Amino acid sequence: MSSTLGNTIDFDSARLKLETSAGGHRLAIPRPRITDLPALQRQLTQVLQTSLELDRVLALFFVQLAEHMGLDELSFSHSARDILVQNGTPATHRCSYRITHSGEYLGDLQFSRTQRFSEAELAQLESLMGTLLYPLRNALLYHEAMQRALSDSLTGAGNRFALRHAMEREIPTAARHGRPLAMIIIDIDYFKAINDRYGHAGGDLALQAVVKCMQGCLRSIDDLFRFGGEEFVVLLSDTDCHSAALVAERIRAAIEDMRFEIKAEPLRMTISVGVAMLRNNESGDALLERSDQLLYQAKQNGRNCVVCC
C-alpha cells in the first residue's frame, strides 16, 4: 500500500499544513535518522550556495537527504515556468510540499522512499527544507534570466545563441550514443511583401503566428529557434531523416492552412523547408550549411515545399 502526504509550506509565516490522502492520520514508526540536525542544516546551507543551476542545487539537496533520510526520489516542478526536475527513482511512500515565500509560488517538491515517513522525520525534513529556500529562489531567478537570454524577445523561440548551445550539447550526445539527429530549416515565403504591405508591426504579428503554429506541430522535447529575420531552425533529437521529413511536412501544411488576419485582411502564408540528418563526424556548422542548401533548393523548386537530404 502506498501513502501520500500533502503539505504546504509558507515560509513567511512558518505555518505548516499537513494532510493525508488516506484517512487523515499517519502511522507512527521509526525514530528520526538524523541525530545532529543543526550540523546537517549548516552543511546544507554551505553546500547549496555553491551553484545557481537549478538542477545542481536540487541534486545537492537530494544527495544529502538520500544519505541521511534514506530518500529514493526528489522531484521538483514549477508549472508556470514549465520546469520539471527529477532525482532518483519514485518509491511507494511520498510526501509533497507546495512552497511559497513573500506571496510568491516557488514550486512543488515531492520526496519518496520505500519506508513510511514518521511525524518526527517529517518535522526534520521540513526544517531541512528551510535551507533550500534562498538557493531555490536564486536558482529560479537565474533560470529565468538564462531563459530570457536564450529566447527571441519577439516570438519566444530560442535565439541563435540558444541554437549554438543546443548543437554543442546534442551533436556530441548523438555521436556518442549512435543516435540520429535531424535539423529542419524554415523560411517564410515572400515575407518582405508582408512587411511592405502591413509594416513591421504586421510582420511581427505574422512571425508570432507562424511560431505558435510551428510549436503546435512539435513534441515537447523538440527545439525551435529563430535563426534570423523570417528564418527558423528546428532540432530533432532521436529522429532520422524520414521522420524529420514527416515533421517538416506537417509544419508546412499547418502553416499553409493557418487562418491569420492582419488589419482584418486574411493573409495566407507558406514556407520553404530544408531537412538534413547529421552525418558521421559532421560539425554543427556543416549541418547548418547543408540544411540551408536544401532550403535554397526548396525555393528553387517553387517554394511551399520540403526538400530532404
Averaged pLDDT, 130-156:
92
pLDDT score of 44: 95
On the question of pLDDT at 23 being above 90, the answer is no
Superfamily of 150-308 according to CATH? Reverse transcriptase/Diguanylate cyclase domain (3.30.70.270)
Q: How many angstroms separate the Cα of 62 from the Cα of each of 2, 74, 76, 167, 266? A: 21, 6, 11, 30, 54
Angle between helices 54-69 and 133-149 (to 10 degrees): 150
Domain positions in the chain: 3-148, 150-308
Quote the Cα angle for 284-288-289, to 5°: 120
Averaged pLDDT, 175-191:
96
Query: pTM value?
Result: 0.67
pLDDT bracket for residue 292 (50, 70, 90)? very high
Rounded to an integer, what is the distance from CA 88 to the centroid of its chain? Answer: 19
On the question of pLDDT at 291 being above 60, the answer is yes
pLDDT score of 148: 85
Pairing type for strands 3-10 and 93-101 reads parallel
pLDDT bracket for residue 26 (50, 70, 90)? very low
Averaged pLDDT, 38-60:
95
Q: Give catalytic residues, as residue numbers.
A: 230
212 or 80: whose pLDDT is higher? 212
Full 3-state SS string of 150-203 = CECCCCCCECHHHHHHHHHHHHHHHHHHCCCEEEEEEEECCHHHHHHHHHHHHH
Superfamily of 3-148 according to CATH? GAF domain (3.30.450.40)
pLDDT score of 263: 87
